[in-house]
A and B are shown apart, each in its own frame.
Chain A
Amino acid sequence: MSPSGPATGRPDEGAPEAAAVVGRLRRLALLFVVLAAAGAGSLSLGATVLPPSRIWHLLFASGTDDPLRQVLVELRIPRVVLGGLVGAALSISGALLQAFFQNPMAGPYVVGVSAGAGLFAVAAMTLGLAFRFGPFGAVPLAAFAGGLFAVGLVQALAGRVRFLRSEGLLLIGIAVGSVFSALTSILLLFSRDGVQGALFWMMGTLSSADWTRVTMVAWWVAAAGLPALFLSRDLNLLLWGDDVATSLGSAVPRVRRWILVLSSLLAAASVAACGVIGFVGLMVPHVARGLLRTNDHRFVLPGSAAVGAVLVIVADAFARAVWAPSELPIGAVTSALGAPFLVWLVVRRHRRF
């Protein structure tokens, strides 16, 4: 795949016209309006369908002992908020990594985050580890540690590669991920308990969302997502290649280190909160670029956050409503809903050239 393909993108030629900037801002604002609508709309869906008027009544007019109110306030709202946060985190992570690798195939799970998190989480389940840290039990914490461990390992190994830095890192990430996945399969074979739970967790689920977890993840996303916005200019320069970026005044090694740290933290936090939701981080940045019609990271990063949040919220509403009261694994739904849209966007963009 050519690095200058439309999906990777290069910064737009020349100085952006003021009108174009206004257009992008308008589209970005529209994305956030869609996000608000998706969030509010998905509150209606679940084991019981609640019409908006009923939601209003439950929130502001009814007594506290109505089980429907408990369902709404303690289950559904935190779930929708967590879905939005996780979608935003994965998408920002994906946008950062695609700029890092200058490769449209990059995503948070390609650098080994998901495989490492999956292995550690399954190990925690099979060993029956028991400790708590704030709202997180042993399994999410193990996932977090595993994700960071995998990325650290990948980076340490890639440090030995002198040439083709980003391709080398990508290949090593895939290789390390494969080893971790293999170890996970072997562990699952030997374990008696928790195998089914592990499998469902590995496909992702938002069903254990609660307010403490939402708060925790919100801090993570703010702590790692906002600094990413300040990297926008450097990310734009990176798209021209390391040499050009350096000559234009970007401290490339430091920027690269920050990208890796921030994107890993975002992805690992989301894996810890709700398991492995595949495809979001890979796909959403492309969708955001297509919808905003720009590769400028000042728009792509917040746009990705909004699109990712919408995708996960809608997918989760679909997952819990379509077969209620049973639920579909959300990873399957994000892929099934998102992939055709991505294909449509790519085909449309290719046709234009």
Chain B
Amino acid sequence: MSRPGIRPGIRSGSVSPAKVEARIGRTIPWLARSLLAGAFALHAATPHTAAAAAGGVSIAPPATRAIAADRGTAGSPPPERATAAAVRVDALGDTLTVGRRPDRIVSLSPSVTEILFALGVAQERIVGVTRFCDFPSEARTLPRIGGIIDPSLEAIVLARPELVLAVRGTPIEQIRRMRQLGLSVFAIDDQAGLGEIEEILGQVLELTGSDDSLRAGALIASYRNGLPAYRRWSASIPRSALPRVLYCDPAHPGWSAGPGSHIDDLIGLAGGTNAIGGTIAWPQLSAEQVATLVPDRLLLAWNEGSDRETVRAELARQPGWKGSAALRDGRICWVDAGVLMRPGPRTLQALRELAACLHPERAQPEETDGALPPGRIAP
């Protein structure tokens, strides 16, 4: 069942069955190997093998290289380029031929839903979202297709999408099944660093088109100009004036963000240094570590509707946090949890808030564009 507009393209990298067999041969004992060989011979005789393999997902090295090459050019497509046919490689290394503008889009992640709305994709064109899609508030009324790691294939098929936007966290097996069912699937890298947000916005815009191209263009331009401005701005601050910032989500007081996470990026651009070093992007801190880190500032995730004083008092009761001077003295920057955890259209505003909180005395880079998306940043 192939759709008229967008079709899964021919895969760029594949592994020959003989090679696979050789690889498996090294790992499985003889009995399993001979049984497997028998099963494969039998399987090769069935006609649908090639179709199934072609619909499958792989993260083949050549395709990954193709992404890297693509990154240089896909930076900022003009808003109305969605009509030109082009082959695009997604975050998992699979290709999709971009054709006619899709009128029925399913989003498999809250970050994608947020991007669609921010780019001005009309609400009627979004025919399925996850149960976690809560921003903007219009998203709550859209039909649900399940969760992020447990989307219901039945519900997706019944939504008759022309384009399914997945993310890197979408289970690969599910993506394989969706392609097999004739759906056009494209995986977005929703855990990318801040520097890639502009590219991702451009990528989604190219696939979906916009019903409000002014808004889409302004959003992308704000990232194209805003992030370098903050990079220059933060680089101009002397190292001695950079506060050490510790990120914490009070709902999970042990979890923090280290190098390689987008929150680490955010802290750096906002003129701080991450109190967490090492190599783990999302480390789990012991009470002892929390007690000995002694950051200058805390970056706390904040959920709408929760009382900050209560959250602060609750956190102060947690092991390791009792003696925290930053917590006691209120040296805290609050940022909306949804904005913090989903790098996307609202991230620039979070960056602005955090920079203002860390360096209230310094003038911020001037506004590069007035047409920012509506944010829900803590006042």
Contact = CB atoms under 8 A, between A and B. Distances in A.
B20 A205 contact: no
Interface stretch (A95-103, A185-193, A303-311): A185-193
Interface in A190-216: 190, 192-194, 196-197, 199-201, 205, 207-208, 210-212, 215-216
A23 B19 CA distance: 53
B158 interface: yes
Interface of A: 46-48, 65, 67-68, 70-71, 74-76, 125, 128-135, 137-141, 144-145, 148-149, 152, 189-190, 192-194, 196-197, 199-201, 205, 207-208, 210-212, 215-216, 219-220, 223, 261, 265, 268, 320, 324-327, 329
Dominant secondary structure at the A interface: helix
A320 B153 CA distance: 11
A68 B131 CA distance: 22
A258 B171 CA distance: 36
A138 B92 CA distance: 14
18 contacts: A70-B1, A75-B153, A75-B181, A130-B60, A132-B56, A133-B20, A192-B281, A194-B169, A200-B150, A200-B171, A208-B177, A210-B180, A212-B49, A212-B52, A325-B144, A325-B145, A325-B151, A327-B147
B149 A199 contact: yes
B280 interface: yes
B154 to A, nearest CB: 4
Nearest to B53: A132
Contact of A208 (B24, B43, B155, B173): B173
Nearest to A120: B27
Given A131-B58, A219-B42, A207 B150 contact: yes
In the complex, which of the residues B17, B36, B149, B176 has the most CB atoms of chain A within 10 Å of its own CB atom?
B149
Given A48-B158, A197-B171, A265-B32, A192 B191 contact: yes
A133 B17 contact: yes
Interface string B173-184: 110110011000
B145 A137 contact: no
Nearest to A190: B280
B1 A208 contact: no
B177 A210 contact: yes
B280 A71 contact: no
Given A132-B53, A135-B43, A325 B146 contact: yes
Contact of A128 (B59, B148, B260): B59
B53 A326 contact: no
A326 B24 contact: no
A75 B48 CA distance: 16
A67 B29 contact: no
A135 B168 CA distance: 22
Given A71-B154, A135-B43, A189-B284, 16 more contacts: A75-B153, A130-B59, A131-B19, A131-B20, A132-B20, A132-B58, A137-B57, A139-B172, A145-B24, A152-B29, A197-B171, A199-B149, A205-B150, A207-B152, A325-B146, A326-B152
Given A208-B177, A326-B146, A137 B172 contact: yes
B46 interface: yes
A132 B260 CA distance: 30
Given A130-B59, A132-B53, A212-B48, A47 B171 contact: no
Contact of B46 (A76, A190, A212, A268): A212
A2 B145 CA distance: 50
Nearest to A319: B150
Contacts of B363: none
Interface residues on B, range: 35 or more
A325 B168 contact: no
A193 B20 contact: no
Contacts of B56: 132, 137
B21 A133 contact: yes
Contacts of B1: 65, 70
Contacts of A329: 150
B154 A145 contact: no
Interface in B12-38: 13, 15, 17, 19-21, 23-24, 27-29, 31-32, 35-36
A228 to B, nearest CB: 15
A70 B146 CA distance: 19
A68 B154 CA distance: 8
B308 to A, nearest CB: 29
Given A145-B27, A207-B174, A325-B144, A76 B149 contact: no
B39 interface: yes
A47 B158 contact: yes
A223 B34 CA distance: 12
B171 A326 contact: no
Given A189-B280, A192-B260, A219-B39, A261 B145 contact: no
A148 B284 CA distance: 33
A134 to B, nearest CB: 4
Contact of B58 (A48, A130, A327): A130
A135 to B, nearest CB: 6
Nearest to B180: A210
A211 B131 CA distance: 29
B378 interface: no
B157 A71 contact: yes
B28 A144 contact: yes
A261 B33 CA distance: 13
